[in-house]
Structure 1
Amino acid sequence: MMEQIPAREFHAADGVEDWRSLYHLVSAHFRTASLAEGVAFVEEIGRITGEAEAQYLAVDLRAAGVTVSLGRRDVALARRVSSAAKELHLRADPTAVQVVNVTLDVLVGGNVLPFWKALLGYGQIGDDYLFDSLRRGPGFGLQQMDSERPQRNRIHLDVAVPHDQAEARVAAALAAGGRLVSDSYAPKWWVLADAEGNEACIATWLGRE
């Protein structure tokens, strides 16, 4: 099995300029002028992807674009996908990739995770994370609390964005009426809140490796 390389090492490689790390994934979005153009690109991805590589490849096809995600930071496959896009005259748009997770603050994770797993019909990774095996919905994670916080919301969104898009996304959220709760861990993550105090985080891979 291929060993996962650090995000910093992936981004230092040549030929992966289209790609952005989002937690453990790397993703690229390629704009298309039609569904037929996207289908042609997906067919080419299928042709150049080996059987072993396909197990951690996800492709989302829409009329306006194709998003390709790799569950492992595979420089060689990323290069081949980008090369196929270039041959088809498709342009990458790094602003269009992100990962959204729903995060629940808990006191005893083991008491609540089975409920959410059954409710969502998700699979489980480790002791604190659930995922949609069909990759249609957001991930669902648990975050340990030290004590109860009855005056604070316990469910929030974590939005992972490309490292070079994070500050613009934070600025857009603030301009839209949000406020900065904390940037103590930036650029790993920023904590923001809406006008009523409901919190969310903008996160990047920076500071995680």
Structure 2
Amino acid sequence: MTSRIIAIAVDCRDAEALARFWCQALGYPSTRRWTDAYGREYVEAGAPGATSLVFQPVDDRKSGKNRLHLDIAPSSGSRDEEVQRLLALGARRLGDDPKVPWVVLADPDGNEFCVLPERGADDGTAP
């Protein structure tokens, strides 16, 4: 027996706003919401065949570097065009090292992620 990833949970201050950003960034068409036994409302962003992102509200602000981050790539167009699109949606640029093929951004809640050049579905090269 093995396990599979069904969602990636993201701590955030405003689950609704962050879900909206990531739905626009990834083209996810839907969100669903639920409330836990403590009254916290979670927002899940998803698309058929894609791993969901679950935004869970927390009181504390992000501090330090993420231990886990997303690497994303445009489905069409260039990496730089995608970076510009994400910046217009509310992301912030954190790093742009010309020696590596990715650009480091932060989402509106400060969570780091990387934008890589477009890849084919079977491209097994690592960043």
TM-score, normalised to structure 1's length? 0.26
Q: Which has the higher helix share?
A: 1
Structure of larger gyration radius: 1
- Give the TM-score of the pair, scaled to structure 2: 0.40
Q: Relative contact order: is structure 1 or structure 2 higher (C-alpha 8 Å, sep ≥ 6)?
A: 2
